[in-house]
Structure 1
Amino acid sequence: MVKFNKKKKHIFIQVQFIIIFIITCYFIFFATSCSASANDIMVDNIDVSEEKDTLFTYHQNVQKPNVLLIIADDMGMDATPYATLLSSIKPTMPNLDHLTQNGVRFNNAWAYPLCTPTRASILTGKHAVSTNMLSPGDVINLNETSLQTFINNNGTTPYATALLGKWHLSTNSSDPEKLGIDSYKGNTRGGLNDYYNWTLQEDGINTSITNYYGTTAYTDYAIDWINNQTEPWFCWLAYNAAHSTFHTPKDESLYTHEGSSTLDMYIQMLEAMDTEIGRLLNSIPPDELANTTIIFVGDNGTPSQVAQSPFSRGKAKGSLYNGGVNIPLIVAGANVSRKNESDDSLIQTTDLFATIADICNVTNHDINESISFKPLLSQSIKHARQFSFSEVLANGPSFGGYTVRNHQYKLIYNEDLQESYLFDVMNDYAETINLYDGNLSDEEQNAFDALQAEASRIK
């Protein structure tokens, strides 16, 4: 045993105290820091466990890959497991983790603040101002060229297509097929008033559904449809979860999160959706799944009732702030050679049109406001998109206007007050400091002018 004399012992205790003090200060700073840098928001790596599902091998160089597009309703970045937002209660989503481990997650993906314009942007590759699909209740023009029609009219391989679940682009369940989608089955409305008692819509026929959980039903429809295909397929699976009505699923095996608050129920709904996604993936024969590219995306930010730090009621779903437009986007599976990687490229939901067409081997895929980001699935390179754009009409807690960003700066224009806000979103993700209130530097002024010019081009 080493013995200390009194003087040495006193010095040793002082050194110990200093070290403990420094470590304590560090952890207090880390836990309480409100720095909203984009680098604080995202995790660069996900720990890859030794669980068997992470060992699944997806094929590369697949000539005719299947495509599974999964859309979560009202799931923003604050509710996404891989985004390290401070003070967040996260859902446990092992199947989403599986996708992040086997693919690329895009940190700067943008949608519209509300679901209808986002879905229209994916379907057409156009901004909402071009399709007049600016708010819930707007009806899609049946003369639009849908993604499904574009793939089958311009590709070398015919694809079987289905859209299952939430439509929300009209109230007529025959409209998806009129737009070139082979099969539609789900609910055309924005949400389900009761996830256990709701109306199934198919081929213009409405059927009352009782004691059949909506999230489970949509999954069953996808399983049945996929297992009946004999050619390459593109399945658009649109869950209503986790859109209100908030609830605790009756089947306790669907979730692990405990609690009965509104936020607890929202988390449980997300976990139930993840469980059903796992059931869907497990139902696809291994060889078929290995040839499938999987895309998971949210349609807008988290609702204000359940939004978490740093998003307040006025900066969540329905708003032009990051809490309204920044959404999870993960691409994994066949022909995705980047594994467990994070990408900061600017992506907007219009780009899913060109990207999915590109995945399906359509050559001339970059049309309208859509730019394929398929190259990013295999290489960490500079993406062609320099600006992202979104807009919203005035709604409830939020003002109407538009927003546009480049890699560092973001402009929000409040049409109600005719005011402009400029944020350095690389260093102020929570958008707390409006640079436009002060004197802009030359760099900031140049960015403001470029952002305003891009908005004028689109509007």
Structure 2
Amino acid sequence: MKKISIIFLLLFGGVAVQGQDDYFNRTVRVKEYLEPAIPHPDQQKEAESKLEKLNKKPNILIILIDDMGYGDIGVYGGGTAIGAPTPNMNKLANEGLRLTSAYAQPTCTPTRAALMTGRIPARSGLTRPTLTGENPKVNPWESENTAAKILSENGYKTAISGKWHLGETKGSMPNEVGYDEWLGFAAVQSEYSQFVNEWIYPDLINKPERLAAVKAMVNEAVVKGKKGEENKEVAPITTIEELSKVDQIFADYSEDFIRRAVEEDQPFYLIHSFSKVHNDNYVSEEFKGKSPAAFPYKDAIMEVDDIVGRLTQLLEELDIDENTFVFLTSDNGPNEDTWPDGGFTPFRGGKGTTWEGGVRVPGIAYWKGMIEPGRISDGLFDLCDLFNTSIALAGAYDKIPSSNYIDGVDQTSFLLAGEGDSNRNAVFMYSETNFMAARWMEYKMHMKVFETSAPRKNLDQSVVQQTGMAPWVYNLYVSPKEQVSTGHRYFEWGLPVMLGYIRDHLATYQKYPMKDIGLKKPGQ
């Protein structure tokens, strides 16, 4: 057994599988608190050579769309075919790298936490979206480090534009957890929508005392703030018309932030976080009925696509597209519960589940002159990896604190090498604190599964069940809809390998335990 594997077993009590140290597990653990990764020395050298030629720190722009389905973008099988053309997102993909196996968490708050901290949400405690007026008993950010914080301390101008939904109490807002500045709203689109649409929410809006009580829990406004300063309201959200304009407000702010960073000659890290296409979708006047489908969700997709075009065009206008890494994705699969105000996925399930439809999302990486255009890869990419990769691109990888376990891996060589391979061995999937499933190569193994009692009721009418003697396993190349498990029949050779990966992963909680911030539901 190789030395690195012996160290790994001593540290984490892993179970060795015969042959695992050569073909089946090529990962190396560089530091105890960092997730093991697959080294690709030649590809890493190629990526480093490209970065050295830049001779300056690159800008980082992460475009995060809310609840967009894997199949909504044209190059992923949607677009014109489903009544909402996406020319700008198609262009970004065709001129960059299109990932076909990018993974988020099942819902928005956990994904945003994972992207910003590099940690599976069970570790940070941000395991599910907070609800109206709900405040965790413990501020998770007291012991978490965002990529924005690390980059801000290492020469970057950092900001988030748009939806936050990661805590509204003192000490939990963006300008208090590492961002230099921000503009957006603290909650989620539906939280504001419930105050303005009496057709959908009559039992709230038509009862004045009830409405007043609920409104008292929510700040109905777009706000902005800077590090060390109090947040200030900049636009109310009290009507459908005002709510329809928020993404345009966010876009204007992102454009202004980018321009200011360029004028100040400072590298920037910006997360542009859409409110769309989370329900309920109200598009700005310019886009009403403009999609071929003429449904609000489809109009919203076109508005999102237009804003993506505005941001990427600005990079060209400012002549910084050759020095800006762009990554576009969604925070989870489409919300089937709100149909027809929801997106499309070709996979089983949707938002809220760990079926592919809930966690497999678009992933587009673009960087002119650095990422070869037209690449398509099925290499594994977890949105946790954006934490590590962003910090690595900024040259600050040694600044990642050792106090927390980091589940992300640095994917710089995967993205930048001409024929780069993923450095990630497996993706581990959770529902809140429940370990559910893992993806390794083309195989998906479920230890627990979501079962829905009615079509399109992934959130409102489903249960989590333990699998039986044999885990449920699907070869996603031939069974992408995860319809009939054949693990015991056709995957006997791989069962012990994947079970070993899962044991090793779960063993990391012995030294780096899960954090309880008060989001567990009663009875759990």
The reply to whether residue 389 of structure 1 matches residue 428 of structure 2 is yes
The whole-number CA distance in structure 1 between the counterparts of 2:108 and 2:411 is 22
Deviates more, 1:107-116 or 1:89-98: 89-98
The reply to whether residue 223 of structure 1 matches residue 255 of structure 2 is yes
User: Which one has a bigger Cα radius of gyration?
Assistant: 1
Secondary structure of the 1:222 match is: helix
Deviation at 1:381, TM superposition (A): 2.9
Deviation at 1:444, TM superposition (A): 3.8
The whole-number CA distance in structure 2 between the counterparts of 1:100 and 1:189 is 30
Paired AA for residue 177 in structure 1: N
1:67 corresponds, among 45, 51, 60, to: 60
The whole-number CA distance in structure 1 between the counterparts of 2:73 and 2:477 is 19
Residues 136, 435 of structure 1: CA spacing in aligned structure 2 closer, same or farther, 3 A cutoff? same
Residues 447, 89 of structure 1: CA spacing in aligned structure 2 closer, same or farther, 3 A cutoff? farther
The reply to whether residue 364 of structure 1 matches residue 412 of structure 2 is no
Equivalent residue, structure 2, for 1:163: 160
Paired AA for residue 288 in structure 1: I
Deviation at 1:291, TM superposition (A): 2.2
The whole-number CA distance in structure 2 between the counterparts of 1:406 and 1:286 is 41
Deviation at 1:266, TM superposition (A): 1.4
Equivalent residue, structure 2, for 1:295: 327
Match runs of 1:175-186 below 5 Å: 175-186=173-184
2:112 corresponds, among 104, 114, 119, to: 119
The whole-number CA distance in structure 2 between the counterparts of 1:176 and 1:170 is 9
The whole-number CA distance in structure 1 between the counterparts of 2:75 and 2:184 is 29
Question: What is the count of residue pairs matched by the alignment?
Answer: 386
Residues 244, 361 of structure 1: CA spacing in aligned structure 2 closer, same or farther, 3 A cutoff? same
Deviation at 1:328, TM superposition (A): 0.8
Paired AA for residue 308 in structure 2: I
The whole-number CA distance in structure 1 between the counterparts of 2:82 and 2:504 is 37
Match runs of 1:364-443 below 5 Å: 364=398, 368-379=406-417, 380-393=419-432, 401-414=435-448, 416-419=464-467, 420-436=471-487, 438-439=488-489, 441-443=491-493
Equivalent residue, structure 1, for 2:187: 189
1:273 corresponds, among 304, 312, 315, to: 304
The whole-number CA distance in structure 2 between the counterparts of 1:372 and 1:334 is 20
Q: Deviations over 1:307-329 (max 9, x none)?
A: 446446xx111110110000111
2:385 corresponds, among 342, 346, 351, to: 351
Paired AA for residue 327 in structure 2: I
Paired AA for residue 341 in structure 1: R
| Contact 1:160/1:233 (8 A) holds in 2 | yes
Deviates more, 1:133-142 or 1:212-221: 133-142
| Contact 2:54/2:323 (8 A) holds in 1 | no
Q: Deviations over 1:200-252 (max 9, x none)?
A: 12333345146451111100111122212211111111001100003454213
Match runs of 1:243-282 below 5 Å: 243-252=278-287, 256-260=290-294, 264-282=295-313
The whole-number CA distance in structure 2 between the counterparts of 1:126 and 1:298 is 17
Deviates more, 1:337-346 or 1:302-311: 302-311
Q: What's the TM-score, normalizing by structure 2?
A: 0.68
- Structure 2 runs not aligned, ≥5 long: 1-51, 131-135, 197-219, 225-229, 450-463, 510-524
Deviation at 1:401, TM superposition (A): 4.8
Paired AA for residue 185 in structure 2: N
Match runs of 1:48-59 below 5 Å: none
| Contact 2:141/2:177 (8 A) holds in 1 | no
Paired AA for residue 142 in structure 2: L
The reply to whether residue 205 of structure 1 matches residue 227 of structure 2 is no
Residues 165, 450 of structure 1: CA spacing in aligned structure 2 closer, same or farther, 3 A cutoff? same
Deviates more, 1:361-370 or 1:289-298: 361-370
Match runs of 1:435-454 below 5 Å: 435-436=486-487, 438-439=488-489, 441-454=491-504
The reply to whether residue 102 of structure 1 matches residue 95 of structure 2 is yes
The whole-number CA distance in structure 2 between the counterparts of 1:311 and 1:85 is 13
Residues 98, 62 of structure 1: CA spacing in aligned structure 2 closer, same or farther, 3 A cutoff? farther
Deviation at 1:86, TM superposition (A): 12
The whole-number CA distance in structure 2 between the counterparts of 1:310 and 1:164 is 30
The whole-number CA distance in structure 2 between the counterparts of 1:195 and 1:286 is 40
Equivalent residue, structure 1, for 2:144: 144
1:338 corresponds, among 340, 347, 372, to: 372
The whole-number CA distance in structure 1 between the counterparts of 2:303 and 2:79 is 24
| Contact 1:422/1:448 (8 A) holds in 2 | no
| Contact 1:255/1:272 (8 A) holds in 2 | no
Deviation at 1:406, TM superposition (A): 0.1
Deviation at 1:282, TM superposition (A): 3.0
Residues 286, 453 of structure 1: CA spacing in aligned structure 2 closer, same or farther, 3 A cutoff? same
| Contact 2:385/2:408 (8 A) holds in 1 | yes
Secondary structure of the 1:123 match is: helix
Identity of aligned residues (%): 21
| Contact 1:60/1:335 (8 A) holds in 2 | no
Residues 441, 353 of structure 1: CA spacing in aligned structure 2 closer, same or farther, 3 A cutoff? closer
Deviation at 1:280, TM superposition (A): 2.7
The whole-number CA distance in structure 1 between the counterparts of 2:164 and 2:278 is 14
- Structure 1 runs not aligned, ≥5 long: 1-58, 395-399
Paired AA for residue 146 in structure 1: T
Deviates more, 1:406-415 or 1:291-300: 406-415
Deviation at 1:413, TM superposition (A): 2.5
Deviation at 1:335, TM superposition (A): 5.4
Paired AA for residue 182 in structure 1: D
Secondary structure of the 2:184 match is: strand
